[in-house]
Structure 1
Amino acid sequence: MMNERWFNTNNLSTSLNLTMKHWNAFLSKR
């Protein structure tokens, strides 16, 4: 169960990083 929880947390942080990169690119274009 710990492994599954870690995977979910890691997946969340990864998607968060992608979102931040997306926003940075969006803000840079403006």
Structure 2
Amino acid sequence: MRSFWSSIAELHQRSMVLTLFIHLLLVISC
């Protein structure tokens, strides 16, 4: 069960970084 939660936390962190990266790209393109 612990590994399950840790993997979810990792996914969440990655998605957050991905959204930040996309926002940066949008700002640069505009």
Q: TM-score, normalised by structure 2?
A: 0.90
- Consecutive unaligned residues in structure 1, runs of 5 or more: none
Instruction: Quote how far apart the aligned CAs of 1:13 are.
Output: 0.4
Q: TM-score, normalised by structure 1?
A: 0.90
Query: Separation in 2 of the partners of 1:17 and 1:27?
Result: 15
Matched residues, number: 29
Q: CA deviation digits over 1:2-28, x for unaligned, max 9?
A: 110000000000000000000000000
- Consecutive unaligned residues in structure 2, runs of 5 or more: none
Q: Percent identity?
A: 14
